[in-house]
Structures are given as structure tokens and as C-alpha cells.
Amino acid sequence: MVCLALMFAAVITVRVSGQPRLPPLPIKDGCHQVDPEVGIFRKEGEAVILHFPIFSGVLKARKILPPAAKFVISKKNGTDAVTYEAEGRVQQHATQLWFLPAQASDSGEYSCTYRNETYCVTGSITLSVFDSGSVDMAKLSYPWTATEGEELTIFCPALGSFNKSNTLIEWFKGSSLTALQPSQRDFFHWDGGMLLIPAVMSSHAGLYTCQLTVLINNQQYKVSRTLQVHVQELETNPTTSTTSTTSNVDMLISSTFSTFKKVKPPAIVSPLNGTVFESSHGSGLEMFCQVLTECPTADSTLVMWQVDEQSVESSYLSRRALQGGREVTRVSTMCQIELRLIIADISEEDDHVEIKCVAQNVGGRQEVVALIKVEDATVTWVIVAVVALCFFLVVVSIFLYVLFKPKEKKKMDYFLARQSSTFSV
């Protein structure tokens, strides 16, 4: 009874302190469907690693992933599906698909499915591979916005799946084949593969390409990413001329109002206000801010993370956090911008820290506030202690039972004596 009471108390503790029950996933063809991943665009002839972060995150959050899980990655090809093995030019490794190298024919929609006897869940992602000589690289670039005079840090995005140890990252500007060099005159500096511009000028706008060579299965492959830097001019307060006529002022106001009326403000679809990102002490945490906006204004829409009303670079998390990997993809008639925030090592000081996703364009501004919560390790220890105590009580009970078990009385041997019908006096 004591053990049952302790177990009941532990269950109540977990229910109170644990995460709320997650909503059920939609089902199609007998399989639970995860939201599609953000589509990616890559160049032909380079190594590409396709992975499913949203799919993997759902499995982890719902604790439905057994140790010996088997995944099947397939490409939709009409009514048929092509699956892959761990060898050849296209290789499957767990929840990743390696293209060594990628070809234009690899473009298409891919799905990753986990299925066992009782459960099935699947996710999807769209891959577009282009010939670098026949496509406008600006359309495949990661937009990056800066303001004149500010310090700008650019890093090579979407390289998390590659081993970058002892790898040199080179930077190129525009169509130049000559790599940028650290130069005080050009205001470029290097820091661990990142491109630093201490004071942004209008001349710094344009396309930048980061390029590196990775080693996979003892073979070298090229990997590159292209970014387009937009430099915004500093806003100045215009002086009003006394000679301006009323009609000119009315035209200016009408033009400004019309401009703002045509452009819709961005809408943050994830995370929602009040979202709590939970992670255990010492582990990493990856968060996504997803913003919907009109496609013509996608490049000029500013999306950024803030920590306690400060930029990530200026906050106390500057040494452990990195934002970037901005990706833009078309969703129906709108465009979705996704910006990641990665914290490498969660500590106790991160508990209940306020983080904010900010999205802004000429049509307006939206902010979403979320919290970081460090999972309480005491709950786990309570459960472990309760289980250990129950085991101890069972062992002690068995020992006491054996020790004080009443001894059975020995059975007496009885002999049936023959009775005689006569006897003598």
C-alpha cells in the first residue's frame, strides 16, 4: 500500500509539472501526418544532405520513437515511390538522405516514414536542385538585411549536417571568382568562417557566396550557400519647406497612405504568444520563427530573434546562441520566412528567459513572446527514488516473510492397530 501511494504521488507530480497533452496528428491513409518541412534549394554538382527536423522533433516530443526504429525515405514518382539504401550516389542514413553529388533529376518531394506494428507517422520535404549556370542565384539566396552603419555578421547557413572540422570557408562577392581577403580597407574581417563587416555601407549590398569542401566517405565534395545582403539607408527626418503648397503635401500624404495600404504586415504563424520551449540542463535547443508575408516584400521583410528585449548578439546568450539559416519558401499565394535560433548549451540561468520573434516590413510590425523553461531534474529523481524505494520494500517484505514464516508442524505417524472381536478379562 505504501508503494502504491508513492507511485500515485509520483504520477501526480509528473502530471502537474510535465508538458500539456499534445494535440493529435491528422491521419491520412492510416498514417499520422507531420507538417511539411521548409523546402530547400540547392545547386547541382554539390553534396546535399536532406533531413527532416520537424518530423524528428515530433517523434521526440511525443516519445513514440523506440530505440530500434527503422525509417523509410522515398521519393514520389507518379503513383510509384522510389526508396534508397545506404550505398550508391543517393544514400539513406537513418533520417537523412545523402546526395553525393546532387543532380537536377533529384528535384521532387520526399517523405520519411516510421512504421511499426501499432504506429505510423510520416513527414515530407521538397528539394529543388538547379544548374548554377542556368539559374538566377539571387532567387536561391538567403536574404540578409542590414542598416547602414551597423556591424554585420554573416555566417554560412544550413551546414549543420556536415562535418566542418578543419574546413576552410571561403567567401566570394557577386560573380567574382577571387575569394574575399581580410582587409581593413574593405572592412572585411574573419572569425571562425563568419564574415564580419564592422560598418555596413551601401557598397556592401549584393550577393555573397560561402564555399567549402567537405569529406564524406573519404571523398571530397563542394558545398556552397548564397546570401543576398540588402542595405537599408538610415532614416532621416525630412525638413518641411515653407514654399511647399498644400496640394504637394496632400499628394505626399496620399502616396504614403496608399503605399502602406497596399503592403500587408507580416504574420508570425509560429511560435504563438506564450509558447514555452522546454529543454533539459546541458542539452541544446533549436527554435524556429515562421512568418507569412506577401512574396514581393519577402526580401525586405525583417525577421529577427530578441532575448530579453536585446538582440541575440548583444544578450548574455551571445556566446552560446546563434540565429540565422533564414529560408524563404512559397506557401500557396504567400511566402514563408523561417529563421532559426539555436542555443548550444542550456543552463539554469536560461530558465524563464523571455525570447521574442520580431517581424517587420513597410506594412507593419508583429512581435511574439515566448519563454524558455529548463526542465526540472527533481521530477526524474523523484520517480527514480520512488521506484527504488518500492523495489527495496518488496525485497525487505520477501526477506521478512521468509525469516518469520511459521514452521509447519511435523505430521505424526499413526499405525492402525487391528482390533480383535474378543478379549480376555
pLDDT tens digits for 129-187? 998 777 777 777 877 788 888 888 787 877 878 887 778 888 999 888 888 887 656 66
pTM of this structure: 0.55
Those residues whose C-beta lies under 8 Å from the C-beta of residue 133, and which sit 6 or more positions away, are: none
Spell out the alpha helix ranges (H) of 29-109.
53-61
Distance CA 107, CA 87 (A): 19
For the beta carbon of residue 358, count every other beta carbon within 10 angstroms. Answer: 19
Average pLDDT of the segment spanning 231-238: 68
The type of residue at 94 is: A
Identify the CATH assignment for 137-234 out of 3.40.50.300, 3.30.413.10, 2.10.50.10, 2.60.40.10. 2.60.40.10
User: Percent of the chain scored above 90 by pLDDT?
Assistant: 16
Average pLDDT of the segment spanning 391-403: 78
At residue 374, the 3 state secondary structure works out as strand
Domain ranges of the chain: 28-130, 137-234, 263-374
79 touches 103 (CB < 8 A): no
- 165-179 confidence digits (pLDDT tens): 778 888 999 888 888
Q: What angle do CA 165, 167, 169 make, to 5 degrees?
A: 130
Nine cell digits for residue 391: 523495489
Does 103 score more than 90 pLDDT?
yes
CATH number of 263-374: 2.60.40.10
* Topology, domain 28-130: Immunoglobulin-like (2.60.40)
Average pLDDT of the segment spanning 24-41: 85
